[in-house]
Structure formats: structure tokens, C-alpha cells
């Protein structure tokens, strides 16, 4: 019954999927990324929507289990290497996983007689996980000895696909070099994927036969310049209601460390949304001037706590408890604007940071 709620329009997500399908070549498999509860949308629970896809990508084995138990029957790929303790869960729920850790694969191969399916990640510049290019030959030699390991795909991750074309091109070239090594050494696989939401707009190269799409599905762009290339619909709106209204005298303070000191008689409204609910990097300072929308007007955020924000509503008449507050709605106040206040982070960091303390309302 909490008054702060995240409204998610599943029809817009469906429309985004249709638009993306028209943009991607028909012979290229789309792997939707639904990690972090579908970037906060809980798309991973809407099996009737995602069952149209042969592959779904998640970050964690636990996320794969939730997806499988929710009824998804297709292939679930875990993007990052698992731990030894997760072998039983991988087998029980038939999960594909990142097989870049050859020692882990050797351990799994000894511990089971069942076939395990992997996609091999190649490290080309992200610096996170993946087989180093200098280790590819030794990796391949050891991999061929593992009778219970089946290779379904080879992939990498572009670090700057929407911002640094030169570096991305270097990553793609490195990736192609490794594919050539695998072909020369008779490593067979079905799928090749390196393109993500940003890359599909920036490169004329063939997309190989699989792309991983995350933020676009939810209606947001990795870079605003892509908006003219495809018609997408932002799917999330975050609203709250004023929970308390108070008057301040000159010199009264608001927030930790007296973040705000009233220079005039003021009226301050409290809304039940704080650091514990998301936007951890939000700065309520003059440099950023973050605001919310109340009664159609911009109202400055002057204080933030774990569970609440305090808003200066001095210049708005008839403000009262229960009035609607727009934290973002993609029209009057966009996710991208909020991201800029949070030290210039990305829009997907904003939507995926919204805590499960915030109830979801699905349209």
C-alpha cells in the first residue's frame, strides 16, 4: 500500500520488442537481457511475453532459476562464470553458462556425467571476464579434453559501443581473430554474439547470428542520438504522494549536515522515496538542482534521507498531503535527466536501481 509506486507498461515493452525485431535481420537471433528483474520491470516474470525468444540472458544462476521456475522453457544463458557450488543448480534447471574459466570447466567435467552447455566469452577490452587472447590456444587445447562440455556459442562484450567507435572496432577485430583461431582448431559452435543495444546502431558489420538486447527493450536508449533511428516507448513511470507538509522559518534546516538552510519563510513537502529506494548517487545541491513535478510545476529537492526526500514547495499554492509527485515520467521529467543529477550515470543504472521496496503496478 506504499504511496510511491513504479508503473510499468507491458504493452509498451511488447511494442518495443516488435520495433526491435524489425530492425534486426531475420536470420539473427535476439537474446533479451532480463537480469536485475528485467532492469527493474520484472519482465522476467512475464513468460507469455518472453517465450517468443529462443534464448534469454541473465547475470546470475539464481536469476536463471527464477526464470525457469516461472515457466520459461527456452534456453537460459548466465552471462558470468558460475561457482563450483552452483553445478547442481545448473544441471537441475538446465542452464547454459559462461565457460571462460577453464579450471572451472575441468572441475565440472569431473563432477558430472551429464552434458553441460557453455558460451565461451573472449576478453577483448571490457576487462571483466573472458578468455584472454594470449590464452586462447591453451584454453582450446584443454577444452577439447572435456567430454561433458558442449560449446553452443562464442561471444564478447563491447565496453563503449555507443560512444567510442574506434575502440569498439578494435574489440570486434580482436573477436574475429579469435573466431578464426577457433575455426582453425576445429572448435565448433552455433552462435556468435558481440553486438549489444548500442552496437546495432553504430556498425555496418554483420551482426553475426545473435545480438544481446537490454535497455532498448524497456524503451530507453544507450545514447540519445539513436532516438531518430528507431521508435521506442519508455515503459516506466515513478510516482509518489506527499506524506507531510511543514513550514520553515528563516534559518531552519533540512536534511543531514544541514544540507538546506532556509533563507526565507518556506514550505517543505516530504515524499516517501529515498536512498533506500534507488538513485543512490542523487545530489541535492545547487550544482545539479534536481527536482520533482508537483501540480505540473518543478519543485526542487532540498534533502534526501534513506526513506524520504524533502521538496521546496514554497512557490506552489494549496500544496497538501496526498498530492501526486512525479519522480520521472519520460515527458515532464525523463530518466536521463535524473541520471545527469546522479553524477552523470546511465539511464539503465537509474531504472535498475529502484528497490523492490517500491511496489510495481503493471498496465
- Give the mean pLDDT of 20-24: 94
Same-domain pairing of 215 and 307: no
Last residue of a domain, one of 221, 254, 282: 221
- Give the mean pLDDT of 71-80: 97
> Do the strands 5-8 and 236-241 form a parallel or antiparallel pair, or are they unpaired?
antiparallel
Same-domain pairing of 317 and 171: no
Last residue of a domain, one of 166, 195, 221: 221
Q: Could you report the per-residue pLDDT of 35-55, keeping only the tens digit for each?
A: 999 999 999 999 999 999 999
Same-domain pairing of 349 and 286: yes
Percent of the chain exceeding pLDDT 70 equals 98
pLDDT score at 257: 87
> Do the strands 360-362 and 5-8 form a parallel or antiparallel pair, or are they unpaired?
parallel
The yes-or-no answer on residue 256 being catalytic is: yes
Instruction: Report whether 303 contacts 243 (CB < 8 A).
Output: no
* Residue from 35, 39, 191, 220 carrying the catalytic annotation: 35
Same-domain pairing of 206 and 180: yes
pLDDT score at 207: 83
Same-domain pairing of 217 and 111: yes
Same-domain pairing of 36 and 137: yes
Last residue of a domain, one of 221, 253, 282: 221
Q: Could you report the per-residue pLDDT of 102-144, keeping only the tens digit for each?
A: 999 999 999 999 999 999 999 999 999 999 999 999 999 999 9
Same-domain pairing of 207 and 287: no
Q: Please provide the average confidence, as pLDDT, over all residues in the chain.
A: 94
Alpha carbon distance 314, 248 (integer Å):
10
Q: How many distinct structural domains can be found in the chain?
A: 2
Is residue 323 one of the residues assigned to a domain?
A: yes
The yes-or-no answer on residue 241 being catalytic is: no
Same-domain pairing of 17 and 52: yes
pLDDT score at 284: 60
* Residue from 21, 84, 107, 256 carrying the catalytic annotation: 256
CATH code of 339's domain:
2.40.37.10
Structural domain of 37: 10-221
- Give the mean pLDDT of 238-260: 95
Same-domain pairing of 167 and 296: no
Is residue 228 one of the residues assigned to a domain?
A: no
Same-domain pairing of 191 and 327: no
Is residue 271 one of the residues assigned to a domain?
A: yes
Q: Could you report the per-residue pLDDT of 251-306, keeping only the tens digit for each?
A: 999 988 888 999 999 999 999 999 999 987 776 655 578 999 999 999 999 999 99
Alpha carbon distance 239, 6 (integer Å):
7
| Confidence label for 234 from pLDDT (cuts 50, 70 and 90) | very high
CATH code of 115's domain:
3.20.20.10
Q: Is the model more confident about 338 or about 143?
A: 143
Is residue 230 one of the residues assigned to a domain?
A: no
Query: Alpha helices, DSSP H only, in 225-354?
Result: 335-341, 347-352
Same-domain pairing of 201 and 286: no
Is residue 24 one of the residues assigned to a domain?
A: yes
Is residue 204 one of the residues assigned to a domain?
A: yes
Residue 66 has pLDDT above 90, yes or no: yes
Residues 6+ apart with CB under 8 A from 99: 81, 105, 118, 119, 120, 121, 149, 151
Same-domain pairing of 243 and 214: no
Amino acid at each position: 500500500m506504499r504511496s510511491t509506486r513504479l508503473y510499468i507498461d507491458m504493452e509498451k515493452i511488447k511494442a518495443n520488442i516488435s520495433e526491435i525485431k524489425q530492425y534486426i535481420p531475420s536470420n539473427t537471433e535476439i537474446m533479451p537481457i532480463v537480469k536485475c528483474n528485467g532492469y527493474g520491470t520484472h519482465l522476467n516474470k512475464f513468460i507469455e511475453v518472453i517465450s517468443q525468444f529462443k534464448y534469454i540472458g541473465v547475470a546470475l544462476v539464481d536469476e536463471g532459476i527464477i526464470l525457469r521456475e516461472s515457466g520459461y522453457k527456452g534456453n537460459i544463458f548466465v552471462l558470468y562464470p558460475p561457482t563450483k557450488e552452483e553445478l547442481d543448480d545448473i544441471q537441475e534447471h538446465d542452464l547454459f553458462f559462461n565457460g571462460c574459466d577453464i579450471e572451472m570447466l575441468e572441475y565440472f567435467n569431473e563432477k558430472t556425467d551429464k552434458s553441460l552447455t557453455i558460451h565461451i566469452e573472449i576478453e577483448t577490452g571490457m576487462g571483466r571476464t573472458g578468455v584472454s587472447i594470449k590464452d586462447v590456444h591453451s584454453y582450446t587445447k584443454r577444452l577439447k579434453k572435456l567430454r561433458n562440455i558442449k560449446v553452443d556459442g562464442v561471444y564478447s562484450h563491447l565496453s563503449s559501443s555507443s560512444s567510442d567507435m574506434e575502440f569498439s572496432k578494435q574489440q570486434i577485430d580482436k573477436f574475429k581473430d579469435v573466431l578464426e583461431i577457433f575455426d582453425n582448431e576445429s572448435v565448433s559452435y552455433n552462435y556468435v554474439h558481440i553486438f549489444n543495444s548500442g552496437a546495432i546502431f553504430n556498425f555496418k558489420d554483420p551482426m553475426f547470428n545473435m545480438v544481446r538486447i537490454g535497455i532498448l527493450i524497456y524503451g530507453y536508449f544507450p545514447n540519445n542520438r539513436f532516438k531518430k533511428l528507431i521508435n521506442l516507448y519508455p515503459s516506466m513511470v515513478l510516482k509518489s504522494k506527499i506524506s507531510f507538509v511543514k513550514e520553515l522559518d528563516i534559518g531552519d534546516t533540512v536534511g543531514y549536515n544541514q544540507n538546506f538552510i532556509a533563507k526565507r519563510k518556506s514550505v517543505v513537502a516530504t515524499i516517501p522515496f529515498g536512498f533506500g529506494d534507488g538513485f543512490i548517487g542523487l545530489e541535492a545541491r545547487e550544482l545539479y538542482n534536481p527536482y520533482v513535478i508537483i501540480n505540473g510545476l518543478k519543485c526542487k529537492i532540498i534533502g534526501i534521507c534513506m526513506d524520504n526526500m524533502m521538496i521546496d514547495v514554497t512557490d506552489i499554492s494549496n500544496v497538501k498531503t496526498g498530492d501526486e509527485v512525479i519522480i520521472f515520467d519520460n515527458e515532464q521529467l525523463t530518466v536521463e535527466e535524473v541520471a545527469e543529477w546522479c553524477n552523470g550515470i546511465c539511464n539503465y543504472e537509474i531504472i535498475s536501481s529502484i528497490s523492490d521496496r517500491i511496489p510495481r503496478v503493471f498496465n
